C-alpha cells in the first residue's frame, strides 16, 4: 500500500479467522460495479489552517481518523470480489486484536496539483478500487481485499497559502452523502478537541455491519407486483432512450471528474429560499428546473420552442423510512433515487417548471417508488455499465442533473474555527455512469453553496461554467428580479 495512504484496515490485514462477512445488498452491489468505472468515490476534503506544524497536524489528524474508524466498523471494512457469486463486505470481528496506529505521512503536493482546488480534483480521481476489480478473488475469506477508506495528508506550499490538506476517500457503498456530512462534523469535533462533541461523535454504531438498505425496508413498503415491475422497467428504458443530453465535447476518451463551485451570499440565499417557500417548492426542485432551462438555452442551434425531453435524478435519504429507523450518524449507503423526465421548450417560467419537478418526484415518493424501484434502477444502472452503447454517445449519462431532496445544513463556524479547518468540501465522482451535472448542496452559516461535479472531457470546464452562470442568473431573476446584478459562480 502507498505509504502516503491509510486504509480502514489499519496496516497489515488480520488473519482470515478474525474477519466476518455479509453479502452486499442490491444498492451496495450497484456501487461495487460503478466505482471502478469512475462513479461513486466519496471525498471529504478539509483544508487545515496555516501555521500548524506538520508533525502536530499529522498526529492530530491520525488520532481523529482513528476515533472515526473505531466508531464506525463499516469504515474498517474490506470490499471483496468473487469470481462466482455475490461480493461481500468483510469486517474485523470482535475478537480481532486492536489495529496498529495509522501510518499517516505528510506529503508535499505534486507539481500537477499545486493548490487546494487542483489537489482536490487530483485526489478525487485516484481510484484504488479499479485495479482491485480487475483481480477479484473467488476466496470469500481472502483478507487482501482493498479497504473502503483511504486517507492522505498533504503539506501545502506557501504559494498555495501554506497549511495542510486532508483528503478522505470512501467507497460509496459504505458512505452516502448524509453519512459524509455526519463524518465531517465528527472529524471537526475530534480535530477541535471538543470533549462533549467528540464523545458524541465517537459513539459506536454498526448498522451497516448488520444489514444493507434493502434488508431494512419494511416489506409492506418494498413489495411490487411482477407485472408492475415489468411495466416500470419498460418505462424507464423507453424514457432513457428518448431523453436528450447536454452536448458532448469529447467522447471515447478516458474521463475524470472535475468540480465547479456555485455560491450564494446570505441575502441571495434568504431571497431564494423565501421564493421557494412562496412558490411551494424545495430548493432541489428550483435548482433542477433552473438547470434544465439553462441546458435548453445553451442549445442555440434549436429552433424557437423546439421541445426536448430531459431527465432528473432526485436522491432521497431513506434512513427514516427503515425499520428500525436510522439517523445520519449511521454510516453506510441508505439513499435511493427517483428519476423523472420533463419536456422543455425553453420558454417555461422558472417557478412553473419547478412546481412540475416538485410534483413529479413528490407523487412518485408518495407512491413509495423510492423504496419499490431500488432493484429496477440498480438493474438498469448495471446494464448501462456493461453496455455503454445503450446510452447516447456511449457516454453513460443517465440524467442531465442529479439533486438531493434536502440540502445539508452546517452551523459549524465555531467548531470549524476551533478545529483549525479553513474550508471543507463533500462530493463524489460522476465520470462513470451518472448525470452530466451532479449537484451537492449545503447551507453553511446561512449561505447556500453547491459543489457541481461533471465528467471531463465529456463536458468542458468552459461549457459547465457557462451553464452554471446561467443557472444562477435564472435563480436570481426568479427570486429578486432581473434589475439587480449578480456574480458569476467561481
Residue 264 CA to residue 59 CA, distance in Å, equals 36
SS3 per residue for the chain: CCCCCEECCCCCCCCHHHEEEEECCHHHHHHHHHHHHCEEEEEEEEEECCCCCHHHHHHHHHHHHHHHHHHCHHHHCEEECCCCCCCEEEEECCCCCCCCCCCCCEEECCCCCCCHHHHHHHHHCCCHHHHHHHCCCCCCCCCCCCECEEEEEEECCHHHCCCEEEEEEEEHHHCCHHHHHHHHHHHHHHHHCCHHHHHHHCCCCCHHHHCCHHHHCCHHHHCCCHHHHHHHHHHHHHHHHHCCCCCCCCCCCCCEEEEEEEECCHHHHHHHHHHHHHCCCCHHHHHHHHHHHHHHHCCCCCCCCCCEEEEEEEEEECHHHCCCCCCCCCCCCCEEEEEEEEEECCCCCHHHHHHHHHHHHHHHHHCCHHHHCHHHHHHHHHHHHHCHHHCHHHCCEEEEEEEECCCEEECCHHHHHHHCEEEEEEEEEECCCEEEEEEEEEEECCEEEEEEEEEECCCCHHHHHHHHHHHHHHHHHHHHCCCCCCCCCC
What's the rounded mean pLDDT across residues 372-389?
Answer: 92
What's the rounded mean pLDDT across residues 213-225?
Answer: 88
- Please give the pLDDT value at position 486: 44
- Please give the pLDDT value at position 483: 41
- Please give the pLDDT value at position 300: 79
Q: Which residue has the higher pLDDT, 306 or 400?
A: 400
Is pLDDT at 234 greater than 80 in this prediction? Answer: no
Is pLDDT at 51 greater than 80 in this prediction? Answer: no
Contact 401, 292 (CB under 8 A): yes
pLDDT tens column, 250-272 = 998 899 999 999 999 999 999 99
Cα dihedral 252, 256, 257, 260, rounded to 10, equals -90
pLDDT band at 400 (very low <50, low <70, confident <90, very high): very high
Is pLDDT at 100 greater than 90 in this prediction? Answer: no
Residue 305: Cβ-neighbour burial (10 angstroms; 0-12, 13-18, 19+): exposed
Contact 355, 279 (CB under 8 A): yes
Between CA 391 and CA 130, with CA 433 as vertex, the angle to 5 degrees is 130
- Determine the angle formed by the axes of helices 266-278 and 283-297, rounding to 10 degrees: 100
pLDDT band at 86 (very low <50, low <70, confident <90, very high): confident
**pLDDT > 70: what percent of the chain?**
83
Per-residue burial over 316-348, b = 16 or more CB atoms within 10 Å of its CB, e = otherwise: bbbbebbeeebebbbbbbbbbbbbbbbebebeb
pLDDT band at 382 (very low <50, low <70, confident <90, very high): very high
- Please give the pLDDT value at position 83: 64
Q: Which residue has the higher pLDDT, 128 or 53?
A: 128
- Please give the pLDDT value at position 130: 86
Is pLDDT at 245 greater than 90 in this prediction? Answer: yes
**pLDDT > 90: what percent of the chain?**
64
- Cell 489537489 sits at which residue? 119
Full-prediction pTM beyond 0.95? no
What rounded mean pLDDT belongs to the chain?
A: 86
Residue 264 CA to residue 449 CA, distance in Å, equals 6
pLDDT tens column, 134-182 = 555 434 444 468 899 999 999 888 766 678 899 999 999 999 999 999 9
Omega of the bond leading into 112 within 30 degrees of 0 (cis): no
pLDDT band at 77 (very low <50, low <70, confident <90, very high): very high
Max mean pLDDT among 349-353, 376-380, 414-418, 483-487 falls in 349-353
What's the rounded mean pLDDT across residues 450-457?
Answer: 98
- Provide the grid cell at 456: 471531463
Q: Which of 213, 229, 218 is nearest to 317 (CA)?
A: 213
- Cell 493548490 sits at which residue? 115
pLDDT band at 304 (very low <50, low <70, confident <90, very high): confident
What's the rounded mean pLDDT across residues 374-382?
Answer: 92
- Please give the pLDDT value at position 169: 95
pLDDT tens column, 125-142 = 999 998 666 555 434 444
- Please give the pLDDT value at position 158: 77
Residue 83 CA to residue 479 CA, distance in Å, equals 54
Residues pairing with 311 in the sheet:
341
**Residue 367 CB: number of other CB atoms within 10 A?**
12
Could you give all domains of the chain from N- to C-terminal order, each with its CATH number?
A: 6-210 (3.30.559.10), 216-480 (3.30.559.30)
Amino acid at each position: 500500500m502507498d505509504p502516503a495512504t491509510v486504509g480502514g484496515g489499519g496496516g497489515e490485514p488480520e488473519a482470515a479467522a478474525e474477519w466476518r462477512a455479509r453479502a452486499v445488498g442490491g444498492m451496495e452491489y450497484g456501487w461495487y460495479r460503478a466505482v471502478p468505472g469512475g462513479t461513486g468515490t466519496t471525498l471529504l476534503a478539509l483544508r487545515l489552517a496555516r501555521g500548524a506544524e506538520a508533525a502536530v497536524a499529522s498526529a492530530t489528524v491520525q488520532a481523529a481518523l482513528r476515533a472515526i474508524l473505531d466508531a464506525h466498523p463499516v469504515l474498517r471494512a474490506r470490499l471483496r470480489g468473487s469470481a462466482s457469486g455475490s461480493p461481500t463486505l468483510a469486517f474485523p470481528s470482535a475478537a480481532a486484536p486492536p489495529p496498529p496506529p495509522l501510518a499517516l505521512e505528510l506529503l508535499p503536493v505534486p507539481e500537477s496539483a499545486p493548490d487546494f482546488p487542483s489537489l482536490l480534483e487530483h485526489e478525487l480521481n485516484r481510484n484504488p478500487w479499479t485495479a482491485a476489480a480487475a483481480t477479484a478473488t473467488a476466496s470469500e475469506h481472502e483478507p487482501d481485499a482493498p479497504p473502503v477508506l483511504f486517507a492522505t495528508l498533504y503539506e501545502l506550499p506557501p504559494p498555495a497559502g501554506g497549511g495542510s490538506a486532508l483528503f478522505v476517500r470512501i467507497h460509496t457503498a459504505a458512505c452516502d452523502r448524509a453519512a459524509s456530512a455526519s463524518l465531517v462534523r465528527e472529524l471537526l469535533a475530534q480535530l477541535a478537541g471538543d470533549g462533549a462533541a467528540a464523545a458524541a461523535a465517537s459513539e459506536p454504531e454498526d448498522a451497516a455491519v448488520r444489514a444493507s438498505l434493502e434488508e431494512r425496508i419494511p416489506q409492506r413498503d418494498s413489495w411490487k407486483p411482477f407485472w408492475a415491475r415489468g411495466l416500470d422497467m419498460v418505462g424507464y428504458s423507453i424514457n432513457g432512450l428518448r431523453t436528450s443530453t447536454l452536448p458532448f465535447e469529447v467522447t471515447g476518451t478516458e474521463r475524470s471528474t472535475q468540480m465547479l463551485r456555485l455560491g450564494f451570499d446570505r441575502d441571495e440565499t434568504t431571497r431564494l429560499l423565501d421564493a421557494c417557500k412562496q412558490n411551494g417548492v424545495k430548493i432541489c426542485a428550483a435548482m433542477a428546473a433552473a438547470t434544465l432551462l439553462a441546458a435548453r438555452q445553451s442549445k442555440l442551434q434549436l429552433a424557437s420552442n423546439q421541445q426536448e425531453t430531459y431527465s432528473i435524478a432526485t436522491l432521497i435519504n431513506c434512513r427514516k423510512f427503515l425499520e428500525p429507523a436510522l439517523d445520519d450518524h449511521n454510516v453506510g449507503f441508505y439513499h435511493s433515487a427517483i428519476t423523472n423526465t420533463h419536456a422543455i421548450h425553453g420558454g417555461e417560467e422558472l417557478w412553473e417548471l419547478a412546481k412540475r419537478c416538485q410534483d413529479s418526484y413528490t407523487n412518485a415518493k408518495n407512491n413509495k417508488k423510492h423504496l419499490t424501484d431500488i432493484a429496477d434502477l440498480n438493474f438498469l444502472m448495471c446494464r448501462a455499465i456493461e453496455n455503454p452503447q445503450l446510452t447516447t454517445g456511449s457516454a453513460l449519462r443517465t440524467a442531465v442533473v442529479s439533486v438531493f431532496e434536502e440540502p445539508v445544513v452546517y452551523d459549524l463556524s465555531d467548531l470549524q474555527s476551533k478545529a483549525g479547518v479553513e474550508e471543507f468540501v463533500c462530493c463524489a465522482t460522476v465520470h462513470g455512469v451518472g448525470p452530466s451535472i451532479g449537484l451537492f448542496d449545503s447551507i453553511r452559516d446561512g449561505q447556500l453553496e453547491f459543489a457541481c461535479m461533471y465528467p471531463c472531457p465529456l463536458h468542458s470546464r468552459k461549457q459547465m461554467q457557462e451553464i452554471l452562470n446561467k443557472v444562477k442568473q435564472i435563480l436570481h431573476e426568479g427570486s429578486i428580479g432581473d434589475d439587480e446584478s449578480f456574480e458569476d459562480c467561481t
